[in-house]
Amino acid sequence: MPIKTPAENSRIATLQTIDFKRLMDRDVTEQKKLLELSIKDGFFYLDLQGPTTGKILEDKATVVRVMEWYFALPEGEKMKDDRGSHTHGYKPPGTFTGYKKGSRDCYETLKHSEVLPGAVKARSELFESFIGLSHFVTKNAPRESLRRIVLARPSSIRRASSGRQTFQHDACPSPLPQQGLDDGMGYNKHTDIGSITLLFTEQWGLQLQRPGSSEWEFVAPRDGHAIINIGDSLRFLSGKLFSSCLHRVIPVAADEDRYSIAYFLRPENAAHLEDTEGRRIKAGEWHDQKYAMFGESHEKQAMSNMLTGGMEKVPVTA
Under the rule (CB under 5 A), what is the footprint of Fe ion?
A: 192
Residues 188-217 that bind ligand AKG (CB under 6 A): 192, 199, 201, 206
Which of 171, 185, 262, 314 contacts ligand AKG by CB under 6 A?
262
Q: Does 187 bind ligand AKG (CB under 6 A)?
A: yes
d(CA 75, CA 82): 10
Q: Does 168 bind ligand AKG (CB under 6 A)?
A: yes
Angle of helix 54-71 relative to helix 124-138, nearest 10 degrees, comes to 130
Q: Which is nearer to ligand AKG, 24 or 110 (CB)?
A: 110
The CB-based long-range contact list for 14-17 (8 Å cut-off, 24+ gap) reads 15/41, 15/43, 15/44, 15/45, 15/219, 15/227, 16/41, 16/44, 16/45, 17/44, 17/45, 17/46, 17/47, 17/225
Q: Does 249 bind ligand AKG (CB under 6 A)?
A: yes
Q: Does 260 bind ligand AKG (CB under 6 A)?
A: yes
Give least dist CB 96 to Fe ion, A: 11
Give least dist CB 203 to ligand AKG, A: 8
User: Binding partner of residue 260 among Fe ion, ligand AKG, none, CB under 5 to 8 Å per kind?
Assistant: ligand AKG
Residues 59-118 that bind ligand AKG (CB under 6 A): none
Q: Which is nearer to Fe ion, 28 or 292 (CB)?
A: 292
User: Binding partner of residue 199 among ligand AKG, Fe ion, none, CB under 5 to 8 Å per kind?
Assistant: ligand AKG
Nearest alpha carbon to residue 312 among 136, 181, 150, 190:
190
Give least dist CB 291 to ligand AKG, A: 11
Q: Does 40 bind ligand AKG (CB under 6 A)?
A: no
- Considering CB under 6 A, how many residues would be counted as binding ligand AKG? 10
Do residues 196 and 138 touch, judged by C-beta distance below 8 A? Answer: yes
Strands (E), the chain: 17-19, 43-47, 89-91, 107-112, 161-170, 187-190, 196-201, 206-209, 217-218, 225-230, 246-249, 258-267, 272-274, 280-282
Backbone angles phi, psi at 57, to 5 degrees: -70, -40
Contact set with ligand AKG (CB under 6 A): 168, 187, 192, 199, 201, 206, 247, 249, 260, 262
